[in-house]
Amino acid sequence: MGKLAFVFAGQGSQAVGMGKELAENFPVADKVFDEASAALGFDVKDMVWNGDAETLMITENTQPTILTASVAALRVLEEKGIKPDVVAGLSLGEYTAHVASGSMDFADAVRLVKKRGKYMQEEVPVGEGAMAAIIALSADDVKACCDEASEIGVCSPANFNCPGQIVVSGEVKAVEKCCELAKAKGAKRAMVLPVSAPFHCSMLIGAGEKLAKELENIEVKDMNIPVITNVTADYIKSKDDIKPLLIKQVSSSVLWENTIRRMLADGVNTFVEIGPGKALSGFIRKVTKEVNVFNVEDMKSLEKTLEGLEG
């Protein structure tokens, strides 16, 4: 028997109505939305289920609502008795992984990521930072493009998502220059993304420092399930490392492809993506076709996943 991994969605996967079906069918999922509303002081259900896409796009709303929808789906799987051998999450999803592993309380996590979103947004004035996806270029080539573009401003790899998909982040002019260089090197596409801030680059170090102050008020506990962090693509050794890694994570590259490879090397052969969207499932399939990949975001996907895991 191979191992089972739960992986958790990051920012960009949000959608109006996310988590509604599961909450209507499972009291444990519904309760998560109520807990989020109590922790944040506003009606999360109303924002997520009756709101508009623009409101959800605001980073300080996006982060807590994706976390909430993801934990709601997680609680349903837990109630069904399904426990993973390892967990990880893309950027924001790493907080969901900590909730899953028992190292962080949900109420603490949801308050924390709202502030994380706010700090990440405020750190760089709108219009000064950008991110771009580089398609079908090697990691070394992308790094070389970033290095050259860095002569005119900050530009560095932000997300190593999967083979042939790397996201870069930095100052607008430098990111645009990086896209030009990438196309010249043979990238299929190099396109600026519709995001509101340059995540996971040195421009966000200040946001990490503000987050550090918030983390001082939060208790982290021992992990009941091993967690692989974005920062190193390796297991977090002890609970004492959790806070420093979460601070660093804001301004360092997300090593997602290597996170998947680490799991594969340890015998994971089944992945369940938990939360809205299927972006992570796509990344996993680009790394390997030799594993089972499921996702849980609504009733249909839940039923399919439960059937697949029983099989």
Catalytic positions are 91, 200
Least Cα distance to 57 among 112, 97, 16, 22 occurs for 16
Q: Residue 17 gets which letter from DSSP?
A: T
Number of helical H runs and strand E runs in the chain? 14, 10
3-state secondary structure 53-117: HHHHHCHHHHHHHHHHHHHHHHHHHHHCCCCCCEEEECCCHHHHHHHHHCCCCHHHHHHHHHHHH
* CA 148/CA 141 separation, integer angstroms: 11
Measured in degrees and rounded to the nearest 5, phi and psi for residue 125 equal -55, 140
Strand bridging mode 268-274 / 3-8: parallel
Order of strands across the sheet that contains 129-135: 155-162, 165-171, 129-135, 189-192
Q: Is residue 164 a contact partner of residue 286, using CB atoms and an 8 Å limit?
A: yes
Q: Residue 208 gets which letter from DSSP?
A: H
